[in-house]
Amino acid sequence: GINAEYGVSIDKTGEHFRMLFDVKGRFLIHRIKKEEAAYKLCNVKSVRTAAKGVPVITTHDGRTIRYPDPLIKMHDTVKVDIATNKAVDYIKFEPGNLAYITGGQNCGRIG
């Protein structure tokens, strides 16, 4: 079954794949380990305070995560545990970090 936006698991064979893009914008199937299939990387689209002063972040795929690390800011990347929908780790958006382009003319490029 499908367990995330770009993650696919085949239960009969126990295989897990992540759907990526090649440099021409076509889907590329990348085999991953079971541990990697348990999480997803999400881009932070907004950081705000919800009702009763609860801090929340909203990710690119519409997830709302309550009580994130206070150092997480907009445009950072969070590692989300799919089972619990919690932010496990994060990567700051800053010069020098590697990026994987998922849309537009440079889709599939890493740099």
Angle of CA points 76, 78, 83, to nearest 5°: 160
Bridge partners of 77? Answer: 43, 91
Q: What is the pLDDT of residues 56-73, one digit of tens each?
A: 999 988 999 999 999 999
- 33-46 b/e with 16+ CB inside 10 Å = b? eeeebbbbbbebee
Q: What is the pLDDT of residues 15-56, one digit of tens each?
A: 999 888 888 888 888 999 989 888 988 999 999 999 999 999
Q: Is this model's pTM higher than 0.85 or not? A: no
How many angstroms separate the CA atoms of 37 and 15, rounded?
10
